[in-house]
Amino acid sequence: MIDKKPFEQLIDKLKDEGKYRVFNDILRERGEYPNAIWYGKYNIKNIVNWCSNDYLGMGQHKVVLDAMHTALDQTGAGSGGTRNIGGTSHYHVALEHELAQLHSKESALLFTSAYVANEWTIVSLKRIIPDIVFLSDSKNHASLIQGIRHSGAEKKIFPHNDLETLEQLLRDVKGTPCIVFESVYSMDGYVSKIPEICALAKKYNAITYLDEVHAVGLYGNTGAGYAEKLGCLNEIDILNGTLGKAFGVQGGYITGNSTVIDAIRSVASGFIFTTSLSPVVCAGALASIKYLKDHNDLREKHQQRALQLKTEFLNEGIDVLENNTHIVPVMVRDAKKTKAMSDMLLDDYNIYCQPINYPTVEEGTERLRFAPTPYHSDAMIHNLVDSLRKVNKRFQEGCV
Ligand code: PLP
């Protein structure tokens, strides 16, 4: 029988350090986004969700829901198998075609999430190019780090956005270099130096692997991401995206040259040996991508809301990490305090914002990460700023 002791010890340690994660039980209300219902231990109440990555509310958009209802009625719930054995439907084919077009690439490959897409694409690259050396930005997401570790390939880490160190590393690489980086870093909201990194890649004949998970749907004239916005989509060899954030549904993908994608498709176990996404999910994603291609207005409103929130926080003297993106990190720099502030916002002000602690961010950089959407009203913004001001005051006065 399993000994529970090491498990209890681990949980106690996490609780002691303020790193124990509590999942909030909420129910999003269709048509009322970002309002939601929170199910507490003793009560149920209305809250405003300030930390959803459904950045544009597409998870509740009529065109997405209509497409999903139609697919559900037409084809049923699940895909029925792996892509190789019964699980490739017309919706998968159409969605991959749409994704390739969106990113101006020849091909796309769907995975069950962007995490899986990152991990297994990187593992596959090592299988296909045995002498590959990964050059990885120090702030890269866990899925990229996991892919590199799992691949067993040689790796070199460069400090975030540090072009000088990156060039030094590129100069010394013995095998085939592959630069792995993100466009929008989700916890700080910083943007990587995509054109400069691509120029270095060209100079040293390196492969470029770009994670655009927090940019697809949100940046560029058609929502293809930050590389589109900066006009350097052509310089990216493999681009990774999610269908679960701005597109509001679920799943992940890569896009690139058709031979490259075909080879990855043939060796990536995390793609091959798992049931494919439901056609219903694919139908929703397809509708969402098409809709966002045509709706820059939603992207503009999103940016405007984020800017307004940041401005109001700064005016109130709140410690916001400054950036040029839609992400609004308020720095607390202490795990227990971040959790206590998050609890207070929820309990006393009906504001839901999950604390961000290690290992998602480095210790000492704990924060509240606000994600405004086009649907957060002026009144909601004023209320949030006022509530956070009151919470800070209670801490300053030692009332907690
Ligand atoms: N890449 C980055 C930078 C992320 O932040 C995330 C998730 O938050 C992922 C990949 C994984 O995306 P998904 O939720 O589709 O697995």
pLDDT in tens, 294-352: 999 999 999 999 999 999 999 999 999 999 999 999 999 999 999 999 999 999 999 99
* CATH numbers and ranges of domains, the chain: 26-55+296-396 (3.90.1150.10), 62-293 (3.40.640.10)
Confidence bin at 50 (pLDDT 50/70/90): very high
Neighbours of 377 (CB within 10 A): 12
Is residue 34 within 8 Å of 376, Cβ to Cβ? yes
Over the chain, what is the mean pLDDT? 97
**β-sheet with 44-49: strand ranges across:** 26-28, 35-39, 44-49, 351-352
Q: Is position 245 annotated as part of the catalytic site?
A: yes
Q: Among candidates 133, 125, 134, which has minimal Cα distance to 265?
A: 125
Pocket test for ligand 1, best of 110, 121, 141 (most atoms within 8 A of CB): 141
pLDDT at 18: 83
Q: φ, ψ for residue 211 (rounded to 5)?
A: -90, 115
Per annotation, catalytic residue among 126, 139, 229, 245: 245
Q: Ligand 1: residues within 6 Å at CB?
A: 113-115, 118, 141, 143, 182, 186, 211, 213-214, 242, 244, 252
Is residue 352 within 8 Å of 26, Cβ to Cβ? yes
- Distance, CA 242 to ligand 1 centroid (Å)? 7
Ligand 1 atom with the smallest distance to the CA of 244 is: 15
Is residue 144 within a helix (H) or strand (E), and if so which, with residue range? helix 142-151
- Distance, CA 115 to ligand 1 centroid (Å)? 5
The protein residue with its alpha carbon nearest to ligand 1, atom 12, reads: 114
Per-position DSSP letters for 85-113, written without gaps between them: TT---HHHHHHHHHHHHHTT-SEEEEES-
Residue 19 to residue 378: CA distance in whole angstroms? 33
Residue 64 to residue 69: CA distance in whole angstroms? 9
Pocket test for ligand 1, best of 184, 211, 242, 271 (most atoms within 8 A of CB): 242
Q: Hey, is 263 helix, strand or coil?
A: helix
Give me the mean pLDDT over the 58-64 stretch.
Answer: 98
Record the tokens describing residue 210, joined without a space: 């770009």
